[in-house]
Amino acid sequence: MTYANLWLRLNLDLMQLSAEASGVVALRMMKLAAGGAAATAEAERIVAEKVAAAAEVQVQAWSSAVAGAAHLAPGRAVAHVRRKVRANRRRLTR
């Protein structure tokens, strides 16, 4: 795959991620607006997920760089975050 194709794929993945994340933000805001113990738990989960995701993506980026595939790191990071966003959407819509 050429670098131009990698950038195109990355841009498309980022557009999809932004749309998916917007939906999850809306679902989370509804849960937070309802208040109570579930809202408190969700707020704590949001913070914990952000910290964990940042660490996981950083490890992936370093692993890609060490393996000589640094050009794949952005796409791998977006794929990782999209998996997390989809999992949150499934959890919040049950």
- pTM (2 decimals)? 0.87
Q: What is the pLDDT of residues 30-66, one digit of tens each?
A: 999 999 999 999 999 999 999 999 999 999 999 999 9
- Whether residue 1 has pLDDT greater than 70: no
Give the range of the structural domain holding residue 11, as residue numbers without chain letter: 3-92
Beta strand segments in 1-94, E: none
Nearest CA to 25 among 90, 87, 85?
Answer: 85
Q: Is the pLDDT of residue 4 over 90?
A: no
Query: Domains in the chain: how many in total?
Result: 1
What average pLDDT does this structure show over 20-27? 98
Judged against a pLDDT cut of 90, whether residue 2 lies above it is answered with no
| Angle 67-64-11 from CA coordinates, rounded to 5° | 140
3-state DSSP call for residue 4?
helix
Q: DSSP string of 41-87? A: HHHHHHHHHHHHHHHHHHHHHHHHHHTT-GGGHHHHHHHHHHHHHHH
